[in-house]
Amino acid sequence: MDIFCKIIDGEIPTNKIYEDDLVIVIMDVNPKSNGHSLVIPKKHYDDVFDIDKETLSHMWDVARDINKLIEKKLHSNGATFEINYGIAQDVKHIHLHIIPRYKYEDIASVEEIYKVLISK
């Protein structure tokens, strides 16, 4: 069982910022930028060639919504959306990275960013 399956099953705590029937969105524990998040399907799929089109499309829809939240709350100036495959894929459970981009980057802790993103 991979680390994402354990997170989904509640075996490993995480900074979850969104959840529905198909996916969860968590903060990356080693962020490349403030708000770096992962959209992860709850059902295990190894990679982009293993997942059904409906779930993949839903992941993109959620990623767009989460990116809007990040833009609003963290004032990002753009984003990189990334899905790794093969040797580039550290965890063999498909996930979509949302990596916010900023003109001026001042990296804050995951905990500080998490509190901002979940605040009302």
Here the CATH number for the domain that contains residue 55 is 3.30.428.10
> Which pair of structure tokens corresponds to residue 112?
């500080």
Active site members: 95
CA distances (Å), origin 63, targets 1, 12, 59, 87: 25, 22, 6, 23
Higher pLDDT, 107 or 44: 44
Q: What is the tally of structural domains in the chain?
A: 1
Residue 1: count of CB within 10 angstroms of its CB:
10
Q: At 76, give phi and psi (nearest 5°).
A: -70, 160
Higher pLDDT, 103 or 45: 45
Under the banding of pLDDT at 50, 70 and 90, the label for residue 91 is very high
Residues in the chain: 120
Helix (H) / strand (E) element for 67: namely helix 53-74
Helix (H) / strand (E) element for 73: namely helix 53-74
pLDDT, position 105: 73
Straight-line distance from the first to the last Cα atom of the chain, in angstroms, rounded to the nearest whole number: 34
Query: What pLDDT digit, counting tens, does each position of 29-85 carry?
Result: 999 999 999 999 999 999 999 999 999 999 999 999 999 999 999 999 999 999 999
Q: Which domain holds residue 93?
A: 3-118
| Whether the predicted pLDDT of 27 surpasses 90 | yes
Q: Whole-prediction pTM value? A: 0.91
